[in-house]
Amino acid sequence: MKFDEFGFEPPLLEGLEAMGFEKPTEVQEKSIPDILAGRDVMACAQTGTGKTAAFLLPIINDLVKTPAEGVNALIIVPTRELALQIDQQLEGFSYFTPVSAMAIYGGRGGREMEQEKRAIKEGAEILIATPGRLKSHMEMGYANLKTIKFLVLDEADRMLDMGFAPDIMQIVNKLPRERQTLLFSATMPDQIRKFARQILREPVEINQAISKPAENIMQAAYEVDDSGKVQLTRHLLEGKENLERVIIFAGSKQKVRELTRSLQQAGMKAKAVSSDLEQDEREERIRLFRSGNIPIIVATDVLSRGLDIKGIDLVINYDVPGDGEDYVHRIGRTARADASGIALTFINAKDRRRFQRIEELIETQIRRIPLPEELASFTPRKGGRGGGRSSSGRGGRQKGRGRSKGSSRRGSKGGRKK
């Protein structure tokens, strides 16, 4: 289907075209009609599936069609990075419309607070806010949220993990009951359902089935400190000549360099593939890997998506991938019709929680293999950052699930009024 089949207003369609959006993603196609029809919606779909536009487009459309005074929509998000990201997308979609928006988030000084205050008072139509900061504004009395028609809770799972539930409930209790509420989340544990029942009214539930790894992939993981990862890799690869193609994904170019050198020193035919190389050279190495002349490739995860290589015997995630989709994508490279592949992931204490999320997403408990005896000293402390294997980490404020989208940090932009 195409975007114009939703019956969007012309200036919004123009914005979509300018943004290069041609057709809706699955979650957009499933949720936009219900949102346009005025229903509450809770949608669960993994990261990167286009949830932002799924809620922004119908809201912008409504504001173009029936403009109203004051703050019309409130989008609550867990982090300032996300607030800025959404603000940016919104700016693109609404470029040809008179809709105005403001991102409101903590960690900034009095001048920005003033700016935010003005936007709230003068009625930016859409506020994108982190819970704490919004509460500060509300406590000072000038934030009139009685005009709100739309409430969006984005990344609801993450907000609950970060301990924002009480803040959110306090905010929600100040909003008009007659409103449309939309909840978006990458996972839908019972906890979220319970939370949603308090806030949404007879919601339509949308679930986008997650892609799961093929069954014939043997998945396992090692808990290991960063300082033991090189040795563990060598231990796994030494003397395994039967492995024709091995690919190792590491989190940075530097790690790629170091690991490659160390494997080469141990006499293994390993080559690095990272953005350090010229395109030609990269392609040449990949060609040699495909043809079986280079058995081991070490690559940055940045490149993992672009590498079109199949038929790999072993994938090693030297670092835990950013999200479940990346994980599934990477280990999918081992899937071959006639044979089963192996995917091993190295988890340090810091990445435990992230890996747990990946397990939740793919609904699979991945087996932990104890480190070989001579490397046992590299076993991470139990209960380190990110909590243990149970869900005990919940409820507390946890920083840094996943990587922050670093580049948006410089954004002192904050918001805009047209």
Contacts with ligand ADP by CB under 6 A lie at 21, 24-25, 28, 45, 47-53
Which residue, 79 or 219, has its beta carbon nearer to ligand ADP? 79
Nearest approach in angstroms of CB 136 to ligand ADP is: 26
7: left (phi over 0), alpha (psi -120 to 50) or beta: left
Chain centroid, CA 6 distance in Å: 27
Give which of ligand ADP, Mg ion, none residue 24 binds (C-beta under 5 to 8 Å, depending on kind).
Answer: ligand ADP
Which residue, 24 or 321, has its beta carbon nearer to ligand ADP? 24
Say whether residue 285 binds Mg ion (CB under 5 A).
no
Give which of ligand ADP, Mg ion, none residue 185 binds (C-beta under 5 to 8 Å, depending on kind).
Answer: none
Cα–Cα distance measured from residue 380 to residue 375, given in angstroms and rounded to the nearest whole number: 11
Nearest approach in angstroms of CB 49 to ligand ADP is: 4
Q: Map residues 17-56 to x or -, x wherever contact with Mg ion holds by CB under 5 A.
A: ----------------------------------x-----
Nearest approach in angstroms of CB 47 to Mg ion is: 7
DSSP assignment string, 321-352: -SSHHHHHHHHGGG--SSS--EEEEEE-GGGH
Cα–Cα distance measured from residue 329 to residue 338, given in angstroms and rounded to the nearest whole number: 19
Which residue, 48 or 292, has its beta carbon nearer to Mg ion? 48
Nearest approach in angstroms of CB 23 to ligand ADP is: 6
Cα–Cα distance measured from residue 269 to residue 357, given in angstroms and rounded to the nearest whole number: 34
Nearest approach in angstroms of CB 301 to ligand ADP is: 17
Say whether residue 401 binds Mg ion (CB under 5 A).
no
Nearest approach in angstroms of CB 45 to ligand ADP is: 6
Q: How many residues bind Mg ion (CB under 5 A)?
A: 1
Whether residue 152 contacts residue 76, with contact meaning beta carbons closer than 8 Å, is answered with yes
Q: Is 40 helix (H, G, I), strand (E, B) or coil?
A: coil
Other C-beta atoms lying within 10 Å of the C-beta of residue 197: 11
Choose among 365, 385, 403, 381: nearest CA to 225.
381
Contacting positions for Mg ion (CB under 5 A): 51
